[in-house]
Amino acid sequence: MAVSRSSSVQQARQALAGRLRELYRDAGLDGKALAEACGWHPSKVSRISTAKTSPSADDIRAWCRACGAEEHAEDLIASLRAVEGMWVPWQRMERTGLRRAQEARLPLYERTRWFRSYSPGLVPGLAQTYGYTEDVLRAVQRRRVRVDDVASAVAARMERKRLMYDGQRRFAFLIEESVLHNGIGNAGTQAEQLEHLLTVAALPNVSVGVIPACLGRARMPVEGFWIFDTAQVNVELVSGYLTITQPSEVAMYAQTFTELADAAVYGVKAHSLITRALLSHS
């Protein structure tokens, strides 16, 4: 399992390691005896029990069998899978193409009522046009995905857009001004996207803030992120997809969003920046 420095991921790994330690102690074993029962080197038990190494499902089954606690194996394996799901390298997430990764996020979107998104490089996915999304996902596919299922992946992302129009959810999108000029696709695609962004900004349940490019700003850009209600943050990094659920860490992203939002302009001023960019593509 690839290791993320996120405290959410690390705390989840430590919690799993703690449950495994409890099993062998409750069984009256020490690390050396457990290693012998499993046919391992003692250092392996030490690495797993201190969360320095993530166990495999087979490791957990062997551990539980040695402790006479096989009834706990499947529950612990489920915990392992949950930890693994918090940090997913792109290679694993997209090994069968882009469509499945898009579809997998739909349940999270459907149960969320308050969306907050900060994007320093692209228009947020829910606010994208078909053509813009196609150009974005095509670039991703060419860079790191062998399977070409871009058309179905675009369709899956477009399916999520219906959530903005059901009147049951709130959306706050923050983008850097540079997003308006980022050159995704051709001039026609960019112009269509900016026109659509103006339409999205006019929705009563949607806020679109643009952070002007200026000198001396108090808050530097950070990685793009989504906040789902107050329960979860997702971050797309160069190497993989990070899910954050630790309340203190979610709160850090919420505070960062507030600081970035304070630097943004809205309404007429945001409309002016978007329109100026739109005219430059005409």
Tens-digit pLDDT profile for residues 22-71? 999 999 999 999 999 999 999 999 999 998 888 999 999 999 999 999 99
Ranges in the chain annotated CATH 3.30.870.10: 94-280
Q: Six-digit token pair at 81?
A: 């899978």
Give the span between the Cα atoms of 175 and 264, in whole angstroms: 8
| Residue 215 predicted with pLDDT over 90 | no
Residues in the chain, how many? 282
Q: Which CATH architecture has domain 7-86?
A: Orthogonal Bundle (1.10)
Q: How far is CA 139 from CA 100, 185, 205, 278, in A?
A: 17, 10, 31, 22
CATH T-level assignment (fold) for domain 94-280: Endonuclease; Chain A (3.30.870)
Nearest to 164 by CA among 124, 131, 134: 124
Q: How does residue 217 score in pLDDT terms, banded at 50, 70 and 90?
A: confident
The pLDDT of 233-240, averaged and rounded, is 90
pTM of the shown model: 0.79
Contact 233, 249 (CB under 8 A): yes
Q: Where in the chain is the domain with CATH 1.10.260.40?
A: 7-86
Sequence-distant (6+) residues with CB within 8 A of 196 are: 127, 128, 129
